[in-house]
Amino acid sequence: MITVSYSFNGTGAAIYLCIGFVPDWVRIIAVEDADMARAEWMKTFSAAEANNGFVLNTYAGAGSSYTAGLGVRPYWGGDEMTSTVQTSTTYGEGVYLRPDLKTDYRLGAARNGDAVSDDITTWTLDTTANRTGHFNEDVTGTYIGEGSRIWIDGKWYFIEAVTASQGEASDEVTLSYAAPSGTIQRISGMYDMLPIPLGEFSPPGIYLAATTLVNVNDEINVLVAGAFDQ
């Protein structure tokens, strides 16, 4: 069984989530919305009323099936990225997205990271009650922000808040937990997926047409997908 999970920024438009295989089941959760809505699809949803999946508004306790073409469907990949189909390659935007789990954005700008100058290497806890502290360097804020994972002394946390061009002064960074002061090994981007560059070809995944409750513009969503054993 294969199971993967990635965060992505909602765009308010149909997108392709190119995770490297066509999944047997999908769950998409709008984690930045008070409704905590989720969309679900399985390859065994064979009835006409359900074959594009359904959406559930968790807060309201109401849900509905997607109309054909307006929910989730398999995507087999193989499209070449041109400016016609991939209309934006800006981080947090794009039509075709792929996982980005290996890039270390704590590096300085000269090394294609998101630190203003020097590499971000140290975390100092300032206020335990607020889970706030600071780095040894400011962030540019293009890639590091709410949703970034940060590894401190071998343990990972989430960054809940940091403003662009800040991070070096006391209490400018809020983490998911009050991490003790220590050494930073890595910081991921705000989102686990980013636009596929022009000239490359898209891997398989899913096509997500929904833009209401899930995939709302500039709201963090989480994709969980997998393959059945048989």
Which three-class secondary structure state does DSSP give residue 224?
Answer: strand
Cα–Cα distances in Å, from 145 out to 126, 138, 211, 214? 19, 12, 23, 21
Largest CA distance in the chain: 57
Q: What's the predicted TM-score (pTM) here?
A: 0.94
- What is the average pLDDT value for the chain, to the nearest integer? 95
Q: 195: how many CB neighbours lie within 10 A of its CB? A: 21
The pair of structure tokens assigned to 86 is 């991939």
What's the confidence (pLDDT) of residue 60?
64
User: Measuring CA to CA, which residue among 186, 190, 193 is closest to residue 225?
Assistant: 193
Dist CA 140 CA 119 (whole Å): 12
Give pLDDT tens digits for 42-73.
999 989 888 999 998 876 667 889 998 899 99
Strand locations in the chain (E): 2-9, 15-17, 25-30, 38-42, 54-57, 62-65, 72-75, 96-99, 122-127, 132-135, 149-152, 155-161, 173-175, 182-187, 193-195, 205-208, 220-227
User: Measuring CA to CA, which residue among 49, 5, 52, 69 is closest to residue 226?
Assistant: 5
Indicate the domain borders of the chain: 2-100+193-227, 109-187
**pLDDT tens for the 230 residues of the chain, in order:** 789 999 999 999 999 999 999 999 999 999 998 888 999 999 999 898 889 999 988 766 678 899 988 999 999 999 999 999 999 999 999 999 999 988 999 999 888 899 999 999 999 999 999 999 999 999 999 999 999 999 999 999 999 999 999 999 999 999 999 999 999 999 999 999 999 999 999 999 999 999 999 999 999 999 999 999 87
What's the confidence (pLDDT) of residue 63?
82
